[in-house]
Amino acid sequence: MTEPKLEFAEASPYDQYVHASVLTSLQQPWSDDPAEMAFLITTQVMELWFTLLVHEWRTARDALRQDRLGDALAALRRSHPTLRALNASWQPIASLTPGQFNSYRSALGEGSGFQSAMFRQLEFVLGDKSASLLQPHKAVPAVHAELEKALHEPSLYDEVLAYLHRRGFAIPDDVLHRDVSQRYQENAAVEAVWAEIYQDPRHDELVTLGEALTDVAELVGRWRTDHLLATRRAMGAKPGTGGSAGVAWLEKRAGKVVFPEIWTARSHV
């Protein structure tokens, strides 16, 4: 049996690829409470999942722009287990009592998940745009520039609707040529297009696209709800760190539906 190679002139090939030594050096708690480590690592893991989801949804968006439906579906399907893993990431901190959270909450100062640049990228690629949400990143020019670029790019859903238009469906001009830096607004004509797609067996591949998007929307909704519940359990209705409205803000977010017409069209099928 061949023995594994154990000696290297520099860092092992594994570490050079994964950068594990860098990743495991990034946990620097701001309090003396040992429970803070779970909160910090959970947050960092979520940032990695956000990064992968943005990559997959941009891949799907760009494939649709080039009429490569198969590649878009593959990227969307890859994102589904990633979303489930993201949602499962709540588990280490989902049951915090107020006392447990308060033991290190003050150390967070003005820090808040609301300030996550990668989560903002994720929201933007889903079509939930707002120029004001770039403000927390003005002091970091490279991050601000990336977010500003994302603000003015079509979302995944914008490219879905443009693709349906090229396939001959009656997507209105005001949807096709809307200001993509603004939050997407539900449209009755788009709802009618999705109802038409779901009613006609000749459109099976587009139903498959609709269902892949529905899975994304459902899992994003579950993440928002889990965030709300974990926060409500840990801190009740107190204001959030960073000056946000805390639970009130999260309740508003949890009520937002991703890709709305794919859901409302079902009432007409």
Which residue segments constitute the domains of the chain, with CATH numbers given?
32-111+154-268 (1.20.58.480)
pTM: 0.93
pLDDT in tens, the chain (269 residues): 788 888 999 999 999 999 999 999 999 999 999 999 999 999 999 999 999 999 999 999 999 999 999 999 999 999 999 999 999 999 998 888 889 888 888 887 777 777 899 999 999 999 999 999 999 999 999 999 999 999 999 999 999 999 999 999 999 999 999 999 999 999 999 999 999 999 999 999 999 999 999 999 999 999 999 998 888 898 887 776 666 667 887 888 778 899 999 999 999 99
137 carries a ligand binding annotation:
no
241 carries a ligand binding annotation:
yes
Secondary structure of 181-248 in HEC code, one letter for each residue:
CCCCCCCHHHHHHHHHHHHCHHHHHHHHHHHHHHHHHHHHHHHHHHHHHHHHHHHCCCCCHHHCCCHH
105 carries a ligand binding annotation:
yes
Dist CA 43 CA 98 (whole Å): 18
Coil, strand or helix at 252: helix
Dist CA 169 CA 193 (whole Å): 7
End-to-end CA distance of the chain: 62
Q: Let me know: does 57 contact 156? Beta carbons within 8 Å.
A: yes
